[in-house]
Structure 1
């Protein structure tokens, strides 16, 4: 968005309106500006998208936008990117720079209020790291990354999801993510039951 991250104060009116509407907002990363020099000739989505997801939500967290607009249901793509691995470090730095009068809600607690999709390469490592941090699988949703990922890549991703150890209390990840989607968007469940 023209070099702005979502926590930018100029976007506060937009966040306020999304909050008023109880909006579901899925945030998908793109290649950030001026990163060509660090790609080393490799595909930008390989690493940059995972860091860009973390940058975007670090900005929302550090500006108290997640707790300030609690009715927005945020969906973080790629199982949170590198955020689960960086959350302790982010919290440490946040405490260093936080003003004494600032909010004291720990980042780990705020991260449990977000939803996460399984686009990309969620297994074998990303989802276990994320659920270790958030303490639950009830915030996970299916995400294919289609149309940015071609059908063969989507099928490959689905096979890793289907081969992963099922989540506790569910026969498989598809059942869990479907139940979570219906819980987040109850209207979908009503439409499905009417068909």
Structure 2
């Protein structure tokens, strides 16, 4: 086999492997969370009893596109000199289901508590500046006037709606 054929074959196989790896990673990225099970089967067998089922979800944060500087008439430095960076992700979720001996009657065999991963939207603080000079003033022979310098920090933003469920029911 020629070396060019081998190189072409290696490049094709590398591309196929990358495509398969990307296809395998796409579902987790599309969901936005990664499930985290906590294995307790070994402890159940060694203790000879049912233990609670425990699991969680870890969100995948993604950075957004910041709003760039905006030019405003009458200012020398654009507004949002240091733009705010939006980041979206989520709060982690958790789930717990524990066996419940028939304390509350024959219909209740488990108690469960679950919190789903909830969306979280944040905006990092930014910076607004203005120079101590105004634009050229035609009444002052085209020279700028002096003003007080300005600096401002836009407040950070944090938005989410968390929730939880508590349930009692038959079966584990």
Tell me if both proteins adopt one fold, taking TM over 0.5 as the criterion.
Answer: no
TM-score bin, normalised by smaller chain: under 0.3
Rg larger in structure = 2
TM-score normalised by structure 1 residue count: 0.19
Q: Which has the higher strand share?
A: 2
TM-score normalised by structure 2 residue count: 0.21
